[in-house]
Amino acid sequence: MQEHSSSTNIIIASRQVIIHGLTLMVLFFSPGISSAQEHLVPLGSNYTIRAFLQKNNPTGFRIQSSVTDTVTLPFIDDFARPGIYPFDSLWMDNDAFINSTFCDRPVTIGVATLDGLDAYGRPHDSLATADAIADYLTSQPIDLGGLQGDTSVWLSFYYQAQGLGDIPEVGDSLVVQFRDTAGTWNHVWSIPGRSDTVFQRVSIHVNDPVYLYKGFQFRFYNIATVNGNRDHWNLDYVILNKNTLPNDSIRDNGFINVRPSLLNEFTSMPYNHYKGLASPASAMVSSISDTVRNINYGITSLNYVATISDENGNSLFNSFPGVNQSGSSGSLLVFDTNLGGFSYPVTIPKDSTGFLVKTYFAQPGFQSNANNDTIRYTQTFENYYSYDDGSAEIGYGVTGNTDVRVAYRFDVKQTDTLRGVQIYFNPVGLNVHNKLFQLAYWDQLSVSGNSDHLVYKLINQKPANVDSLNGFATYLFDTLLVVPPGPAYVGFFQNEPGTIYGLGLDRNTDSHANMFYHLDGFWYQSTINGSWMIRPLFGDTIRTATVGIDELASVPVFDIFPNPACDHFTVRFQDEISSPRILKLSDITGREISSWVVKNNSCFVDVGNLGRGIYLVTIINANTGVEAVRKLLLQ
């Protein structure tokens, strides 16, 4: 779309450079392709939204607050508030995704992302092939009455094409419209798709009399491919105000980035493995680093504080009274807090827990937005190793003629039982849910020597994710795998040459040095920055002293979903039931809460009367006494 205006004056503070991008859409490539390649593909949906709805509002969208009158100036939103939907006192619709992960170097923490998905995180039209209007971000009615003849009213905002997500092509666009006194939406600005991760600022003069009335509205929308999580635009710091100038209005100091893990190698690891380290402090970063952006605030002094507490709120670390720094307009203030050898406690009698890392700053005088002056991050210890932060911004795949494999290296810290793997599959385009692959575990792999040692392979698996609201599908192995300390490689073989399964890739962390793929007879190290969303599961072992090789066939193999759960969960068996099974629910100490006899392939369990926490689900083969145990988290 071309940029144009009638009586509305526009100043665009941006580079007028358009880079044509190519987005890979389909999940199948011709087996005749001779060169080995890695590919990035758009995702099909957004599981962060689905998980949020399940946990906070399973029956619908955000709860709308009633807006009985128009919004008064200034209208300001930098999207730093908690939640996934636009703030309902300022915005009317739910399409935009509020997040801190799809953006790259935002103005301040938090953006509104427009994509090809609806408010539920699903494609607007999964069968569409042509571009269409996808997401709207529409302001509540705003009072501009009494401003006739006033030339000081400006709308300003920052936008970013692509960010860490999918590139909007030239046929896509970001559009701004104004609603006039007759109720007509008029086009006032647009920009075609581009490959660019730099935020640009736009200032639009609101001086036409048809807009200066009580009830004025403006809105953004994007034209995109509406069959998946693609064609991303990020918006930051939207301001409509009077008595201002182009590229003015903002007076703020705010954090820029989300908090990364305080573990120096992983985002999560089994708590028992962490507790078993000779020096847990060696697994920690040495300091906490945060960056605050001074936006036209002038010379100011900030007092920065970092705190760490356990899941019960007990303080473990506090840098108070904090560090003072002064900076001028446009400066970036970097705060580094030495942890002084801090480590998370190892005395908690649990096999999973979490710690809250909170950093914040205080400043004298007026601040336009207090939501971006605090960062909260929960460091979790579960039964898996992970490099990713739990959010997928793009999909990953490889294509080749023969023998397509991926292997992910994890430095396991103690001997334990590898029980399975969680994988985030999120395909778009052709359905691959019935395409088979083979899970694998290697204990050795060498790119330079082009060699590996395969220990275990589980055949006939499907890239489904229907059982997991956060996008991870859980695959349990059918045998016990005792893994020693040191490198362990988990991944899969693709059964068909050229097949891409849409493996989730987190772009906010980078572990490509541990990512390997095999094509046409050779191993390669990945060259794409990011982290595959593959997590090896440890512990939760089969608890019986008499299980031998011949008895493994009688071990119950089952899934729990959803997990985490709120008020109910379902147990579904992966094998056919030939004899009755006993389901026991216990607390984390092993105290039995209830039990049932299960004769069908699935069982629905109501736990609405139980408190939050970790529970154990035990399935016992009534004939053999062989049992299997899995953890259940109630939130």
How many Cα atoms are found within 13 Å in the side-chain-facing hemisphere of 8? 24
Closest CA to 575 of 543, 602, 609, 546: 602
pLDDT of the residue at 541: 44
Q: Left, alpha or beta for 530 (phi > 0: left; psi -120 to 50: alpha)? A: left
Q: How many CB atoms lie within 10 A of CB 137?
A: 25
Give the residues across from 98 on adjacent strands.
112
Burial readout 531-544 (b: 16 or more C-beta within 10 A, e: otherwise): bbbbbbbbbbebeb
271 compared with 599, residue with greater pLDDT: 271
Superfamily of segment(s) 271-381 = Immunoglobulins (2.60.40.10)
| Element (DSSP H or E) covering residue 54 | helix 47-56
pLDDT more than 90, % of the chain: 53
CB-based contact 31:102 (threshold 8 Å) = no
CA dihedral 428, 429, 433, 438 (to 10 degrees): -80
Whether the pLDDT of residue 240 is over 80: the answer is yes
Rounded distance between C-alpha atoms, residue 254 and residue 333, angstroms:
10
542 compared with 195, residue with greater pLDDT: 195
Burial readout 559-581 (b: 16 or more C-beta within 10 A, e: otherwise): bbebbbbeeebbbebeeeeeeeb
Least reliable range by pLDDT among 124-128, 135-139, 445-449: 124-128
CB-based contact 179:206 (threshold 8 Å) = no
Least reliable range by pLDDT among 122-126, 371-375, 499-503, 578-582: 499-503
Torsions phi, psi of 281, nearest 5? -60, -25
Closest CA to 372 of 142, 168, 98: 98
Rounded distance between C-alpha atoms, residue 104 and residue 202, angstroms:
18
User: 509 to each of 80, 233, 503, how far by Cα in Å?
Assistant: 21, 21, 15
pLDDT of the residue at 60: 42
CA dihedral 182, 188, 194, 199 (to 10 degrees): -110
Where does the pLDDT of residue 548 fall: very low under 50, low under 70, confident under 90, or very high at 90 and above? very low
Whether the pLDDT of residue 182 is over 70: the answer is yes
Where does the pLDDT of residue 210 fall: very low under 50, low under 70, confident under 90, or very high at 90 and above? very high
Q: Residue holding tokens 């992910």?
A: 408
Whether the pLDDT of residue 185 is over 60: the answer is yes
Least reliable range by pLDDT among 96-105, 413-422, 433-442: 433-442
CB-based contact 491:534 (threshold 8 Å) = yes
Closest CA to 433 of 492, 499, 493: 499
CB-based contact 410:388 (threshold 8 Å) = no
CB-based contact 493:405 (threshold 8 Å) = yes
Closest CA to 507 of 412, 615, 387: 387
Mean pLDDT within 361-381:
80
Q: What does the pLDDT look like over 449-468, one tens digit per residue?
A: 999 999 999 887 876 544 34
pLDDT of the residue at 7: 36
CB-based contact 49:84 (threshold 8 Å) = yes
pLDDT of the residue at 223: 97
Whether the pLDDT of residue 64 is over 80: the answer is no
CB-based contact 400:498 (threshold 8 Å) = yes
CB-based contact 132:223 (threshold 8 Å) = yes
Rounded distance between C-alpha atoms, residue 148 and residue 429, angstroms:
51
pLDDT of the residue at 469: 44
Indicate the residue type of 415: T
Whether the pLDDT of residue 397 is over 60: the answer is yes
284 compared with 625, residue with greater pLDDT: 284
Mean pLDDT within 475-498:
87
Indicate the residue type of 626: V
Q: Give residue 403's Cα distance to chain centre.
A: 31
Indicate the average pLDDT of the chain. 83
The Cα angle at residue 228 between residues 128 and 517, in degrees rounded to 5:
125
The CATH class for the domain spanning 549-634 reads mainly beta
Q: Do domains 10-27+44-250 and 271-381 have the same CATH topology?
A: no
Mean pLDDT within 264-271:
96
Rounded distance between C-alpha atoms, residue 385 and residue 485, angstroms:
13
Closest CA to 259 of 358, 337, 184: 358
pLDDT of the residue at 249: 81
Where does the pLDDT of residue 371 fall: very low under 50, low under 70, confident under 90, or very high at 90 and above? confident
Rounded distance between C-alpha atoms, residue 270 and residue 291, angstroms:
30
Whether the pLDDT of residue 301 is over 90: the answer is no
Mean pLDDT within 586-603:
81
Give the residues across from 273 on adjacent strands.
none
pLDDT of the residue at 486: 97
Q: What is the DSSP letter of 164?
A: T
pLDDT of the residue at 259: 86
Mean pLDDT within 212-221:
97
pLDDT of the residue at 470: 60
3-state secondary structure of 274: helix
Instruction: Assess whether the previous peptide bond of 42 is cis (omega < 30° from 0).
Output: no
CB-based contact 40:507 (threshold 8 Å) = no
Q: Is 90 exposed, middle or buried (0-12, 13-18, 19+ CB in 10 A)?
A: middle
pLDDT of the residue at 430: 46
Domain 10-27+44-250 classified CATH 2.60.120.260?
yes
Q: What does the pLDDT look like over 553-564, one tens digit per residue?
A: 455 778 888 888
Q: Where are the domains of the chain?
A: 10-27+44-250, 271-381, 394-538, 549-634
Whether the pLDDT of residue 322 is over 60: the answer is yes
Whether the pLDDT of residue 550 is over 60: the answer is no
Q: What does the pLDDT look like over 492-536, one tens digit per residue?
A: 998 776 655 678 999 999 999 999 999 989 999 999 999 999 999
Mean pLDDT within 182-211:
95
Q: What does the pLDDT look like over 224-239, one tens digit per residue?
A: 999 989 999 999 999 9
Whether the pLDDT of residue 26 is over 70: the answer is no
Mean pLDDT within 471-498:
86
3-state secondary structure of 113: strand
Rounded distance between C-alpha atoms, residue 362 and residue 375, angstroms:
13
Where does the pLDDT of residue 173 fall: very low under 50, low under 70, confident under 90, or very high at 90 and above? very high
**Helix, strand, coil percentages in the chain from 3-state DSSP, rounded to 5:** 5, 45, 50
pLDDT of the residue at 23: 29
CB-based contact 220:90 (threshold 8 Å) = no
- Looking at CATH, the fold of the domain delimited by 394-538 is given as Jelly Rolls (2.60.120)
State the SS3 of 453-512: EEEEEEEEECCCCCCCCCCEEEEEEEEEEEECCEEEEEEEEECCCCECCCEEEECCCCCH
